[in-house]
Amino acid sequence: MTRGDIYLTDFNPAKGGEIGKLRPAILLSHEEDARMLETVMVIPLSTVLEDNATPYRLRIPARQKLKKESDACIYEIRALSKGRLKERLGNVTAEEYALLKSCLFKIL
């Protein structure tokens, strides 16, 4: 597991307005933390695209096994069990990861 990897992730069960179902998510946790802890921090992706939604969303183009353009739903950041991560689909670029961090800092 490497920071910036995109994994197919099981977000079920969801409650209330939480994002749910099996969907891609970007791994935020540092590699050392991912080894030590039972949970990882992720940002879910959605194919429901919303234009001009930064800092709450950031557009991620399709790449590798991520077949559709998606929005990173930064406001939906979650800590999840590593067992919820199913398959590695690809990774974000260093520039995209820096933008994700910047957006996250703006909303915290």
Q: Summarize pLDDT for 47-71 with one digit per residue, the tens.
A: 999 999 999 999 999 999 999 999 9
Tally of domains within the chain: 1
pTM of the model: 0.95
Contact in structure between 74 and 56 (CB atoms under 8 Å): yes
9-58 pLDDT tens trace: 999 999 988 899 999 999 999 999 999 999 999 999 999 999 999 999 99
CATH number at residue 42: 2.30.30.110
> 75 falls in which pLDDT band (50, 70, 90)?
very high
Q: Which pLDDT score is estimated for 22? A: 97
CA 62, 68, 69, 75 dihedral sign is negative
